[in-house]
Structure 1
């Protein structure tokens, strides 16, 4: 018999929340299987089986707070089905007014979601449920939702079969009384709580200011159009816009070291390296994985790094190491259609670059009005250590490098 323990947290993480078990007591598992998932205020961690065996018992249930290296359950030898759920195992009740402990729990503010239509994607699925459904080829309409808020539980997903739509799902949606004003109270995830805490802290502790400029994206778009096929053939990845911005930002940081610095009490820490965070939006909130030593990376290396981070983020596979540190951040609101914004600094960094939507607009070039694909860019910075002159010149440097990409290759 061996104990199943919470993975070791980093020094900056004190506790986590058990998102749920991927297996039930009595089920056989193999070494390397993901037994459970834990959400901290930074990442979602997987609890991995260290050996073959059977899940004998669990001591923590979905939603419970867990500490680093705390015991979650026991794994032992035996055949599948030999063990029954313990008294501590999760209880699934068809009555949403009953909590796991059996106590009555009023939910007058909650509205039960309507059943999912065929092919519809639900955003309320836990990583464990999403994994089971993907492995079994299930759609939301195939699975009965018996959770307390009309959500799909792991037991629901494990017991469902593709194409066998539950009778409860086939029924018409519940008709609410005329004039009903339903509400639902949903706790923030730990990641969302931490994001909110850090954003508020930045506003309270920094003298944040934002400066704007615009970039003519035609030179980069022409370059991508000309060399895209060759780039893909050689590097097996597409050439995007972000790699140009990372390279331009790195060169600008070399010229303006204070933008790459951070504040520690009454000291300014100047960093002699360039670790740039790339903001990535996920279902659980914004995360910022770090590209290390970007001054040593080519465009292909940057694109591959960003692509790998995107895959990890979608699968909740980003590690704490992926998101630790960073001296500067780039965020791209343009992917969602943002025309202009004032991004918030990612503390303890002192500046962040915001990219936006590319829109064809009339501009004056050599005394003539022409139509060009233009992008507004924004630099939010901590005015305590970065003067307006440096911030403006930093952004102008990025603009000049992007509008004449040859400068990036010639180090000009």
Structure 2
């Protein structure tokens, strides 16, 4: 009965988000689901939203497909009583006779042949196998992060056997095939060099062109990647961006971390990193130079008398910037704990949309990826962004002597329409002084 059906609806979207894209369906019509079991994933400009079953039952109808664009409160499908699917199946079975077994039916599966046997299989047999695979290929498409991994590994979805639910390809499936190919590539003989007098035949050129065309793949940008591209272009075109640089001797910070890291972890159940120190140093510097924490709104300057610092975090879908609220009232332990929580939930696509908006300043750490020197791009409407980089031992002059010290380059990009060069340099020097002498953070000097 229609009255027994419970609609599965798109959750409420934030004001700035008009719609969402269905990127994954984890259930299909006829499946029995438990309450709060994941049914679909929706991608917005910033986060992935999960749609779960409002109650236990049977998914009697699924009206959305992967790739569909949906709006808030749209109905994705309907849940019925748990026995609804079995009753429908019995009705259909009663109306139609059971199909007779034919000679064309596939025989029971046999063990896979050895690698050598697979290589010697005739082309006709290989083609028939491929056709059968395409005909039977009903596994759900891989998630965006897995598609990206496939692309990086130079693999297509048809080359990887999925071990996930309903045959969905997982990250470990791609990594397994990628590693197997890498291990086997060393045993294969390399291409033979052509004779010096031989000329390349036109047919060979045509074959090479066809082969290259087959190795080209076009995939649509995710909504997050499209949004990132839009905002970066906006930052370059709508601001007078300039960058100033400095370098920090990390000796004192590393000594502090080495001295207290075990005690800190036992006390706060979180490791002591350098990001907590940099957030604390940036917070103090923003209090001294409030224009760095301000924003332009038309012909007005908006000063923020609080520090909401965004931390750039890498996720499988791209770079996201969750915001640490009111860092002036947070301890270093609180900051480290919240950063770890952001990183874990960004990796799993669990960040809330409200956690990605409203920052007044941003810190990005390219050093975790090995970056030695870069120019960070502003995160509008903010007027400045701090870039951290890798710590490398370098010879530096200290008290007239050349010594080896662990050094880090730092960069501050800022909107020159609002921030003067002297203010930007002084702000960066304030951070340098706080990190090189962490006691300044305790004494607030």
Q: C-alpha separation between the residues in 1 aligned to 2:276 and 2:231?
A: 27
Which residue, out of 17, 21, 34, partners 1:17? Answer: 21
Match of 2:431 among 398, 402, 410: 398
In the TM superposition, what whole-angstrom CA distance separates every residue of 1:60-118 from its partner, at most 9, and x where no partner exists?
A: 1011111111111111112385367xxxxxxxxxxxxxxxxxxxxxxxxxxx9xxxxxx
Indicate if the aligned counterparts of 1:60 and 1:73 stay in contact, CA closer than 8 A. yes
Q: Normalized per residue, which structure has more helix?
A: 2
- Unaligned ranges ≥5, structure 1: 85-111, 113-123, 131-139
In structure 2, the residue matched to 1:286 is 319
Count residues in correspondence. Answer: 352
Q: Does residue 325 of structure 2 align to residue 314 of structure 1?
A: no
**What is the aligned partner in structure 2 of residue 302 from structure 1?**
335
Instruction: Work out which of the residue numbers 247, 265, 278 in structure 1 matches 2:298.
Output: 265
| Aligned positions of 1:145-294 closer than 5 A | 155-157=166-168, 178=208, 180-181=211-212, 182-294=215-327
Q: CA deviation at 1:157?
A: 2.7
2:58 and 2:145 mapped to 1: Cα distance? 18
| Counterpart check, 1:77 vs 2:88 | no
Give the TM-score normalised by structure 2.
0.74
**CA RMSD of the aligned region, Å?**
2.9
The one of 5, 12, 23 equivalent to 2:9 is 5
- Tell me the distance in 1 between the aligned counterparts of 2:161 and 2:367: 32
1:64 is matched with: 68
How far residue 29 of structure 1 moved from its aligned partner, in angstroms, is 1.2
Q: CA deviation at 1:155?
A: 3.5
Separation of aligned partners in 2, 1:79 and 1:260: 59
Q: CA deviation at 1:356?
A: 0.3
Match of 1:386 in 2: 419
Task: Check the 8 A contact 2:17/2:44 in 1, yes or no.
Answer: yes
Q: Give the whole-Å Cα distance in 1 for the aligned partners of 2:51 and 2:409.
A: 44
Report the 3-state secondary structure (helix = DSSP H, G, I; strand = E; otherwise coil) of the residue aligned with 2:168. helix
Whether contact under 8 Å (1:43, 1:319) holds in the other structure is yes
Instruction: Provide the rounded CA distance (Å) in 2 between the counterparts of 1:206 and 1:40.
Output: 26
Gaps of 5+ in 2: 90-129, 131-140, 186-203
Q: Give the Å deviation of 1:16.
A: 1.1
- Could you list the per-position Cα deviations for residues 137-164 of structure 1 after superposition, in whole angstroms to 9, with x for gaps in the alignment? xxx9xxxx99689796964239xxx9xx
1:109 matched residue in structure 2: none
Pairing 1:339-354 to 2, within 5 Å after superposition = 339-354=372-387
Please say if 1:28 is aligned against 2:19.
no
In structure 1, distance between residues paired with 2:415 and 2:247 = 21
Distance 1:193 1:183 in 2: 21
For 1:348-367, what per-residue CA distance to the aligned partner results, in whole angstroms no more than 9, with x for missing partners? 11100000010100001111
Change (3 A) 1:362 1:146: closer
* Deviation of 1:258 (Å): 0.4
Q: TM-score, normalised on structure 1? A: 0.80
Q: Per-residue deviation at 1:48? A: 1.6
Whole-angstrom CA distance in 1 between matches of 2:167 and 2:70:
24
Distance 2:250 2:157 in 1: 49
Q: Is the 8 A contact 1:53 1:75 kept in 2?
A: yes
Instruction: Give distance in 1, aligned partners of 2:262 and 2:430.
Output: 29
1:37 pairs, out of 36, 41, 47, with 41
Larger Rg over CA atoms? 2
- Displacement of 1:27 after TM fit? 1.2
- Residue matched to 1:407: 440
